[in-house]
């Protein structure tokens, strides 16, 4: 999960439907994902990695896939995200 840590923004560009995503480490083996629709609407969920699949629960199970070649993060219910510039 080290390669997916950081801030991600939607390729679609509609921030009202596609929140900004921040993946960060909270311990040696634990990571969390934070969704920010706006400063007042933030969801913070633990990431799980089981049987080769990375996912989290937010009103259902959402899977993450990372394409290292293109540096694109895909969330099953939200689409593609590219890494935000720092």
Q: Does domain 2-83 have CATH number 2.40.128?
A: yes
Name the residue among 5, 41, 7, 10 with its Cα closest to residue 22: 7
Backbone φ/ψ region at 36: left (φ over 0), alpha (ψ -120 to 50), beta: beta
- Please tell me the predicted confidence (pLDDT) of residue 10: 87
Average pLDDT over the chain, rounded to whole? 86
- Please list the ranges in the chain whose pLDDT falls under 50: none
Per-domain boundaries in the chain = 2-83
- Please tell me the predicted confidence (pLDDT) of residue 86: 63
What pTM did the predictor assign? Answer: 0.81
- Please tell me the predicted confidence (pLDDT) of residue 13: 60
């Amino acid at each position: 999960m080290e390669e997916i840590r950081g801030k991600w923004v939607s390729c679609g560009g509609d921030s009202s439907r596609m929140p900004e995503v921040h993946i960060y480490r909270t311990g040696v083996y634990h990571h969390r994902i934070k969704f920010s629709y706006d400063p007042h609407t933030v969801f913070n969920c633990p990431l799980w990695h089981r049987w080769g699949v990375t996912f989290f629960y937010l009103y259902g199970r959402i899977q993450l896939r990372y394409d290292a070649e293109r540096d694109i993060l895909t969330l099953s219910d939200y689409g593609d995200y590219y890494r935000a510039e720092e």
